Amino acid sequence: ENNPGSADVRLAQAQFYLAQRNFGEARAAAVEAAKLSPRSAAAANALGLAALGTGDIAAAIASFRQAVEFAPKGRYHLNLARAYAVDRNVGAALDVLDDASRASPGQPSTLALATTIALQAGQVEKAAGYVARQLARGLALRLHVLDQRRRDQAVGPDGHGARELVV
């Protein structure tokens, strides 16, 4: 909607203020967006970003938890994990990322952030586990692509029969 009082407009304003690093105005706009759309994950996320920008880590964590609750398969778990990491709660940050990785296994950014947080916390073995998972997923994807190419090559131009395969 283009109504200045709509949740979408208020959310856009919050995002604008966040980009300007004007966290007070961003928070005010995000609060209005959340009032107009109480189950908006995007509004909860904007509130969390504004709180994080002002150093209110507890409020940021609460807002990001809400965003994850409203959109469990979204990418808001990354911000929740970052807020936990800022709060030096590495265990909670990695738990959030592990849960998110199980819920949406195709998100490389989840494992990349988990690797970074584990390394920053000195948990080298845990970080190595995340790297191994990233490599395994990349290899599985590559094998899938190669298998699909092999199947595509097995069908002749007329859609029938097999041609000589080169793998």
pLDDT in tens, 46-63: 999 999 999 999 999 999
pLDDT for 75 equals: 84
Mean pLDDT, rounded, of the chain: 86
**Which tens digits make up the pLDDT trace of 72-118?**
887 899 999 999 999 999 999 999 998 888 877 767 888 888 889 99
Provide the pLDDT for residue 144.
Answer: 66
Q: What is the pTM for the complete model shown?
A: 0.75
**DSSP character for 159?**
S
Kindly tell me if the per-residue pLDDT of 163 is higher than 60.
no
Q: Could you give the CA distance from residue 34 to residue 31 in angstroms, rounded to a whole number? A: 5
Each residue of 136-156: pLDDT tens digit? 877 766 776 777 777 777 655
- For 147-153, the CB contacts below 8 A with 24+ separation are none
